[in-house]
Amino acid sequence: MSIIIEEMRYRQKLCEYAKKYGVTKAARRYHTNRQFVYRQLKKYDGTVRSLALRSRRPKNSPKAHTEEELTLIKKC
């Protein structure tokens, strides 16, 4: 079994426990802080896949070179 899947199941158990007993009790039981529990609850929609880690890579870069600048750089 993959470590990623195990971590997603751990987070699912955390969310289910937090819904039933509250965020503070869940944070104490799972040895984490309440902010982490709130973040997981915000992502959780009832499925394990919703708790998967997402890419933090930016979709675009506002300071990237334009095509014209790239062609000038290549010519030099």
Interatomic CA distance for residues 17 and 37, integer angstroms: 10
- In degrees and rounded to multiples of 5, residue 74 shows phi and psi of -65, -35
- Report pTM: 0.72
Domain contains 73: no
Domain contains 4: yes
Domain contains 8: yes
Domain contains 21: yes
Check: CB of residue 53 under 8 Å from CB of residue 41: no
Q: How many domains does the chain have?
A: 1
Domain contains 65: no
- The beta-strand segments (E) located in the chain are none
Domain contains 60: no
Give the domain extent around 3. Answer: 1-51
Domain contains 5: yes
Domain contains 72: no
pLDDT tens track, the chain, 76 positions? 688 899 999 999 999 999 999 999 999 999 999 999 999 999 999 999 999 998 888 888 888 899 999 999 998 7
